[in-house]
Amino acid sequence: MSAPTTASGSAGRIAAEAPVALTARAPQVPAERLVAEMVPPPRFATVSFDNYITDPGRPSQAEAVEALRGFAGRLGGGAGAKGGRRRHWFRREAKPAASGGPRGMYLDGGYGVGKTHLLASLWHATPAAPELKAFGTFVELTNLVGALGFQQTVKTLSGHRLLCIDEFELDDPGDTVLVSTLLGKLVEAGVALAATSNTLPGKLGEGRFAAADFLREIQGLSAHFRTLRIDGEDYRHRGLPAAPAPHSDETVTRAARHIPGASLDDFPALLDHLSRVHPSRYGAMCDGIQAVCLTGVGPIPDQSTALRLVVLADRLYDREVPVLASGVPFDQLFSEEMLNGGYRKKYFRAISRLTALARDAKGLADAASSGR
Which pLDDT value is given to residue 82? Answer: 39
The residue segments making up the domain with residue 122 are: 31-72+102-230
Q: Are residues 111 and 46 in the same domain?
A: yes
Residue 5 lies in a domain: no
Residue 7 lies in a domain: no
Q: Are residues 221 and 259 in the same domain?
A: no
Q: Are residues 48 and 188 in the same domain?
A: yes
| CA separation for the pair 143, 135 (Å, rounded) | 13
CATH for 311: 3.40.50
- Considering 230, 253, 271, which residue would you say is the last residue of a domain? 230
Q: What is the pLDDT of residues 237-259, one digit of tens each?
A: 555 556 678 999 999 999 999 99
CATH for 42: 3.40.50.300
* CA distances for 214 relative to 169, 197, 207, angstroms: 9, 8, 11
- Measured over the CA atoms of residue 213, residue 218, residue 220 and residue 226, the dihedral's sign is negative
Q: Are residues 311 and 224 in the same domain?
A: no
| CA separation for the pair 160, 163 (Å, rounded) | 7
Residue 78 lies in a domain: no
At 60 the three-state DSSP class reads helix
In one-letter notation, the amino acid at residue 273 is H
Query: Which DSSP string corresponds to 160-215?
Result: -SEEEEEEEE-S-HHHHHHHHHHHHHHHHTT-EEEEEEE--HHHH-STHHHHHHHH
Q: Which of 117, 98, 99 is nearest to 107 (CA)?
A: 117
Q: Are residues 152 and 43 in the same domain?
A: yes
Residue 151 lies in a domain: yes
Q: Are residues 60 and 172 in the same domain?
A: yes
Which pLDDT value is given to residue 237? Answer: 55
Q: Are residues 214 and 260 in the same domain?
A: no
Q: Contact, 148 vs 178, CB < 8 A?
A: no
Cα–Cα–Cα angle for 32, 36, 42, rounded to 5 degrees: 140
Q: Which of 12, 29, 345 is nearest to 196 (CA)?
A: 345
Q: Which of 247, 248, 259, 249 is nearest to 292 (CA)?
A: 259
Q: Are residues 217 and 300 in the same domain?
A: no
Per-residue pLDDT of the chain (372 residues; tens, 9 = 90+): 434 333 334 334 444 468 999 999 999 888 888 888 899 988 899 999 999 988 899 999 999 999 999 999 988 754 333 333 333 323 333 344 444 556 889 888 876 788 999 999 999 999 999 999 999 988 888 888 988 899 999 999 999 999 999 987 766 666 767 877 888 899 899 999 999 875 533 333 343 345 455 556 544 555 567 888 888 766 555 555 566 789 999 999 999 999 999 999 999 999 999 999 988 889 999 999 999 999 999 999 999 999 999 999 999 998 999 999 999 999 999 999 999 887 888 888 899 899 999 999 988 877 766 655
Residue 83 lies in a domain: no
Q: What is the pLDDT of residues 221-232, one digit of tens each?
A: 555 678 888 887
DSSP classification of residue 341: S
Q: Are residues 170 and 268 in the same domain?
A: no
Residue 253 lies in a domain: yes
Q: Are residues 141 and 163 in the same domain?
A: yes
Residue 61 lies in a domain: yes
Q: Which of 331, 267, 36 is nearest to 156 (CA)?
A: 36
Q: Are residues 318 and 209 in the same domain?
A: no
Q: Which of 224, 248, 246 is nearest to 332 (CA)?
A: 246
For the entire predicted model, the pTM comes to 0.75
- Considering 213, 230, 247, which residue would you say is the last residue of a domain? 230
Q: Are residues 132 and 204 in the same domain?
A: yes
| CA separation for the pair 274, 300 (Å, rounded) | 13
Residue 91 lies in a domain: no
- Considering 202, 230, 258, which residue would you say is the last residue of a domain? 230
Domain count for the chain, please give it: 2
- Sheet with strand 323-327: strands edge to edge: 262-266, 291-297, 323-327
